[in-house]
Chains A and B, each alone.
Chain A
């Protein structure tokens, strides 16, 4: 069963508009973490924002905010005032316990965001 679902394979958005990228997740672990990463065409994964399952407030990092709705198991990324440089693949990921004490990330399939001038 898919644990991270990103339902938007691709999105076109006008420059300066706000954009919401959807992410839903599935876990029975009460303690988990949700991440958003940006991957430009160069391939590097760039960390954007993190939300812990026990965090009371939605995370914000500059133009990025995370709309965390725990009961709905959703963690949507909101980018305000989009810029041309925001064009990239965006991955939602969940931190899950693995053997050996460390947590690995399970990624969604990603959303390809294209910002149009």
Chain B
């Protein structure tokens, strides 16, 4: 089935150790989004790719970067994770900018 896949589902990293989260999609959607959801909070948009164009939210910390090497894959890089970066990271895709967004199962990041 066509879907949005996130790997790993659970990631543990150490304070300050770079970590990369992965998202792939078989939907051939043009837009890919990364959301951060801290415990008991609403998801918050970090950035998105519209095709190859990267768009950062104004309040996304510089510590967070993203790469989209092709249509199917998008990566979230956290250069120096802090304790406050522990959260669920949700990847979503949409065919066109204003279409419904399909979410992956998320990666739960723990920072020790």
Q: B108 contacts A45, CB within 8 Å? A: no
CB distance from A51 to the nearest CB of B (A): 11
Are B42 and A102 in contact, with the CB atoms below 8 A?
no
> How far apart sit A18 and B64, CA to CA, in the bound complex (Å)?
42
Residue-by-residue, is B82-112 near A (CB-CB < 8 Å gives 1, otherwise 0)? 0000001010101001101111111010000
In the complex, chain A residues whose CB is within 8 Å of the CB of B105:
42-44
Q: What's the tally of chain B residues with a CB closer than 8 Å to chain A?
A: 28
Report A-chain residues with C-beta under 8 Å of the C-beta of B90: 43, 45
- Residues 41-74 of B, flagged 1 when their CB comes within 8 A of A and 0 if not, give 1111100101001110100000000000000000
> Pick the contact of A43 from B42, B44, B106 — CB < 8 Å?
B106
Q: Are B48 and A45 in contact (CB under 8 A)?
A: no
Q: How far is the CA of A95 from the CA of B96 in the complex (A)?
A: 12
A47 within 8 A of B: yes
Asked if A62 CB lies within 8 Å of chain B CBs, one says no
Q: Identify which of residues 66-115 in chain A touch chain B, using a CB-to-CB cut-off of 8 Å.
A: 91, 95, 98-110
Beyond A98-B55, A98-B57, whether A35 also contacts B100 by CB under 8 A is: yes
A110 to B48, CA, bound (A): 23
Distance A100 CA – B47 CA, assembled complex (angstroms)? 10
B57 to chain A, nearest CB (A): 7
B31 touches A (CB below 8 Å) = yes
Q: How far is the CA of A46 from the CA of B102 in the complex (A)?
A: 8
From residue B39, how far is it (CB to closest CB) to chain A in Å? 11
The reply to whether B92 and A45 form a contact with Cβ atoms under 8 Å apart is yes
> B84 → chain A, closest Cβ, in Å?
19
Interface residues of B (CB under 8 A from A): 31, 33, 35, 41-45, 48, 50, 53-55, 57, 88, 90, 92, 94, 97-98, 100-106, 108
